[in-house]
Amino acid sequence: MNKFQLFKLLKAARFFPKYAPGVTQFYHKMNEWDGRKTIEFSDDDNRQIKEGVNKLIDDLKRFK
Is the CA virtual torsion 24, 26, 28, 33 positive or negative?
positive
Q: Which domain holds residue 55?
A: 3-62
| Residue 6 confidence (pLDDT) | 86
Give the number of other CB atoms < 10 A from CB of residue 20. Answer: 21
Nearest to 3 by CA among 47, 62, 39: 47
pLDDT score of 3 more than 80: no
pLDDT per residue over 8-49, tens digit each? 888 999 999 999 999 999 999 988 888 899 999 999 999 999
Q: What value, to the nearest 5°, has the Cα angle with vertex 57 and ends 46 and 43?
A: 5
Number of domains in the chain: 1
Separation CA 35–CA 9 (nearest Å): 25
